[in-house]
Structures are given as structure tokens and as C-alpha cells.
Amino acid sequence: MGWEALLQQTSTPHFHHIGSGKLDGNGIPPNFFSDIHVRKAFAYCFDYDTYIAEGQNGDGVRDSSAIIQNMLGYNKDQEMYPFDLAQCKAELDQAWNGAVAKNGFRIQAVTATGYPMFQTVLAILQADLAKVDKKYKIEIVTLPWASYLASFRATQLPVAVSDWTEDFHDPHNWVQPFLIGTYATRQGFPDAFKNIFRPLITQALHEPDTQKRADLYFQVGKLQHENVPEVTLSQVGTRWYVARWVKGYFWNPVADIYFYAFDLAGRQ
């Protein structure tokens, strides 16, 4: 199981893929995404339905937070950012005290070569920002996987697309990597930003009562919506095809294909 996210740096200690490094229309400053209006704008400026229909062949479904659907702590009623170009413009008008709207920006968004769904994400974002204002320029860059991963781990990517597949089936393995762990570190979250989420995540991890734990994760989801650490895209749908003589197959989200359940007696 996994979902995809558009990941944005809240701080960029290394100057890669940011053009001039200034808000002069030919780049962005290293801390461009530290302005919440920029982060909200990117959340509004993405056509989620088109991506699910065209990038995921209609098999994806939007998630309301870092936690996947049908899991403890997933809140189906949690507010999500709609695709709204007018709201995107309104947020960018406020960003950096009006300097973004005045000067525009140019930024390189990066993903790995050979991942067409991720490239589709960036193409949609590129097109949608251009609809708001042609001064808002996204350049799509793909790197070989090893180079992409090395750059991502070194916090050199101002915008990246990636996904997560759980290590164990528990909400902690979703909120921890995206908000205070793996991806939070790769996005250069300052400790103060991580600490917005950390107390609730820690409390939920140690809470023995299931309902209280779910309520804590609801609060985490609300904080995620308010602070926009990344843009949550959609949970990936998965299809498996087997020969007609295979019996007993079922989807195991941890083991993928669980061969021990197969009944091959009917094979001709």
C-alpha cells in the first residue's frame, strides 16, 4: 500500500535547482516554501481528479492526511484542499509580501527517470501554475534513481515527487516518515516545524486505547492540513493478474503475492 506526495522544502540548505536563488523571476530563494501561502498555493494548484484519471488510470483515491484509508486514524471528514486556481492565485498574491505575484518564479521540480506517474504529477502542476500566471514557471527535471535519491537525501531538491509503502501496518508508519522522520528530514524541516506534529505523534504511539489513539491521529491530520508540510496526492490502486487455473489468491498488503495461499491443483 502506498500513496504519493508532492514534497516541498521548507528550507533548502544546498543551492540546487533554484535558478538565481532569488525571487527575481529567474529562481527562488532557498527558503521559498517557508512561506505558508506558497505551500497552500501549491496545494490548491493541482488537478487531483485529472491525475487520478490519467496518471493512475482511474484506480487512485485521494487521502485526507498522511494515513491511508481503512486504517485506524484515517478521518474521512478531514478537510482537503480542492483544485481551485482562484484560491491558488489568492495565496500567491499574499506570498512573500506580494513579491511572488510581482516577480514570478522559476523552479526545477525533480523526480526519478522511469516513473511516468511522477512525471505526470509535475506536468499537471506545471500546466496549472501557468494557467494562474505565466510568470510561475516549473521546469521538470528527471534524474537516474541513484542520483535522485542521493540528491533527495542531501536536501537538494526544492520540489520532488515520491511515494511511501508501509513497513508495517500501523498509522505510525505513515505519520512518522512524512511529518517527523524520513521525508521530513529530506525536505529540510526545521526542528520547530517537526515539533508541531511530534507531541501528538508520540502520544498516539504510546496510547493503548484505540479510540483515543484514533482521535489523536485526527488531530495530527488537522495540523497537517493547516500547515501543509507537503501536498498529499492519492493512494495508488493496484491490480494483479493471474492465470485462470490459479485458485486461492488474495491481496496481502505486506507480502504482496502470498504464494502459500495458492491452490495449484487445478492446473492443466
pLDDT (0 to 100) of residue 61: 86
Contact call for residues 56 and 234 (beta carbons, < 8 A):
yes
143 and 212 both lie in a single domain: yes
Burial 63-90 (b: 16+ CB within 10 A, else e): bbbbbbeebebbbeeeeebebeeebbbb
One domain, residues 104 and 189: yes
Check: CB of residue 51 under 8 Å from CB of residue 232: no
Please check whether residues 224 and 248 belong to one and the same domain.
Answer: no
pTM > 0.85: yes
57 and 174 both lie in a single domain: yes
- Characterize the bridge pairing of strands 105-112 and 159-165: parallel
Amino acid 245: pLDDT: 76
R_g over Cα of the chain: 20
Q: Which pLDDT value is given to residue 231?
A: 93
Q: Please indicate, yes or no, whether residues 114 and 221 belong to a single structural domain of this protein.
A: yes
Residue 250 structural domain: 240-268
Q: Nearest to residue 27, comparing CAs of 86, 106, 114?
A: 106
d(C-alpha 148, C-alpha 142), whole Å = 8
Clarify whether residues 126 and 170 are in a common domain. yes
pLDDT value, residue 253:
62
Distance CA 245, CA 36 (A): 55
CA separation for the pair 111, 143 (Å, rounded): 6
Q: What number of CA atoms fall less than 13 Å from residue 149's CA on the CB side?
A: 5
Both 245 and 184 in one domain: the answer is: no
The tally of domains found in the chain comes to: 2
Are both 127 and 17 inside the same structural domain? yes
Does one domain contain both 188 and 118? yes
- CATH (domain of 217): 3.10.105.10
Q: For residue 58, give the amino acid letter.
A: G
Q: What is the pLDDT along the chain (268 residues), one digit of tens a residue?
A: 344 556 565 554 555 899 999 999 999 999 999 999 999 999 999 999 999 998 888 888 898 999 998 899 999 999 999 999 999 999 999 999 999 999 999 999 999 999 888 999 999 999 999 999 999 999 999 999 999 999 999 999 999 898 888 888 899 999 999 999 999 999 999 999 999 999 999 999 999 999 999 999 999 999 999 999 999 998 877 777 777 777 777 766 666 666 666 665 544 4
Asked whether residue 91 falls in the same domain as residue 147, the answer is: yes
Per-residue pLDDT at 1: 39
152 and 257, same domain (yes or no)? no
Phi-psi region of 120 (alpha: psi -120 to 50; beta: other; left: phi over 0): alpha
**Do both 124 and 229 map to the same domain?**
yes
What's residue 55's pLDDT? 83
Q: What is the pLDDT of residue 259?
A: 66
- Please give the pLDDT value at position 2: 45
